Amino acid sequence: MSLEPRIVKESFIRIEPEGEKAAAYFYGRLFAENPRLRALFPPAMDLQRDRLFHALTKIVWSLDSPESLAGYLGQLGRDHRKFGVLPEHYPAVGAALIATLRRFAGPEWTAEAEAAWTAAYQRAADLMMGAAEQDAAHSPPWWVAEVVAHERRSPDLALLTLRPDRPLPFTAGQYLTVQTARWPRVWRPYSIANAPRSDGLLRLHVRAVPGGWVSGALVRHTAAGDTLLLGPALGSAGLAPDSDRDLLLVAGGTGLAPMKALVEQVLLAGHRRNVRLLVGARTERDLYDLPDLRLLESSYPWLRVVPVVSEDSDFDGMRGTLPDAVGRLGGWEDHEVHVCGPAEMIRRTVGELQRLGVPLDRVHHDLLEAEGIAPHLAGACPVHSAAPVPALAAGERASHPASGG
């Protein structure tokens, strides 16, 4: 059975306007025919249905890029191990998917379209299962981590230091997913806020977002001595290995986490690269990690930390928004630039950098991820490619990996 991207895309266009209804029908059909699979999913399914359709969109429109799609699906297959997804689950998912497409494509659904979708799904499932099998030979599906420190920096923000029960490999700029005992089967992504250390400890910056199950539990109901489950490190948001250009790092809110990890990586590598770190917040009080950043700055003479505050007229420093600050400072044409934070900040900052003449291939960000569109692209905020697909993913993406939900 041959793969026919054109046919798949043409039929998918007919289904896209019914995405929400189609996703609801898919899960209803899946659980009705396979009740035992319901236990693999979180209690609330609203966001799960949304992520399913975003991920399906990603796959459909990547069919003409086999290498990129293979990397995406391989990562998803490895990450799905923590959800308890097994090879025998894939046929049930495939059957529910085809039934959903048949129902919502209407008269556009033909034997040719069904054959093309069946081939596409089987190719995706094979790639995911193969990646999961290879990963199982040397890595656990998840890590148990002890909370060794819990620092409440504000009523809604905490810094957690974790000790995994075994080495958890990662690179600076990546993220991982977290599950708490308070919310079984609900995983949320958080950027790792440090470079790899000899003691194996990990640092997370967590802000409790409104209605955030996991983030609220981590900030308000977690203490030293508690344990968490951690998924594998994901994302390709590290520094370009073949570049020694000076760096501009732009961080809004807890988007600081992966930027701090990148600074540590440069410091530990002993590179004499000039690094400018712009940290944005509404008020001076919201600059929750500034003392630690100043200590880092004092130990690395090529680092300059520039706090930028937008709503505090008494702040004795640069005032305004991060995009404004990037424009005012200027001189970034020869820099590698990483941007992480809220979607609108990323969008405006990238636009300002374009205006200043910075080539887009040197501007790394997570804008699509921040907007909830399955790629995690490669950028400075771990992007992030762990959105659920038509397999049995029980996790969700959030505004950006640094913050979770």
> Tell me: the pLDDT tens digits for 150-163?
999 999 999 999 99
| pLDDT computed for residue 295 by the predictor | 93
Q: Measure Cα distances from 142 to 71, 228, 261 in Å.
A: 20, 10, 22
Segments of the chain scoring below 70 in pLDDT: 1-3, 47, 366-404
How far is it, in rounded angstroms, from Cα 288 to Cα 242? Answer: 33
Dihedral sign (CA 152, 153, 159, 161):
negative
* Chain mean pLDDT for the chain: 87
pTM of the model: 0.82
| pLDDT computed for residue 384 by the predictor | 29
The three-state secondary structure class of 224 is coil
| pLDDT computed for residue 404 by the predictor | 65
* Token pair listed for 306: 């520039």
Residue with tokens 């809604």: 156
How far is it, in rounded angstroms, from Cα 342 to Cα 401? Answer: 11
The three-state secondary structure class of 157 is strand
Q: Which domains does the chain have, with CATH numbers?
A: 5-136 (1.10.490.10), 143-230 (2.40.30.10), 247-370 (3.40.50.80)
* Token pair listed for 261: 């990890």
H-type helices in 247-342, by residue range?
Answer: 256-269, 290-299, 322-329
For the chain, percent of residues with pLDDT exceeding 90: 64
* Token pair listed for 249: 């790092």
CA diameter of the chain: 68
The burial class, CB within 10 Å (0-12 / 13-18 / 19+), for 382 is buried
Under DSSP, the state recorded for 35 is G
Which amino acid would we find at residue 271?
H
How far is it, in rounded angstroms, from Cα 132 to Cα 224? Answer: 32
Which amino acid would we find at residue 174?
Q
Residue 185 in contact with residue 40, Cβ under 8 Å?
yes
Which amino acid would we find at residue 270?
G
How far is it, in rounded angstroms, from Cα 356 to Cα 362? Answer: 13
| pLDDT computed for residue 376 by the predictor | 28
Dihedral sign (CA 11, 14, 20, 21):
negative
| pLDDT computed for residue 389 by the predictor | 33
| pLDDT computed for residue 277 by the predictor | 98
Under DSSP, the state recorded for 80 is G
How far is it, in rounded angstroms, from Cα 298 to Cα 292? Answer: 10
How far is it, in rounded angstroms, from Cα 26 to Cα 101? Answer: 9
Q: Is 384 left (phi over 0), alpha (psi -120 to 50) or beta?
A: left
Q: Measure Cα distances from 257 to 45, 52, 145, 192, 344 in Å.
A: 29, 27, 19, 6, 18
Residue 178 in contact with residue 218, Cβ under 8 Å?
yes
| pLDDT computed for residue 42 by the predictor | 79
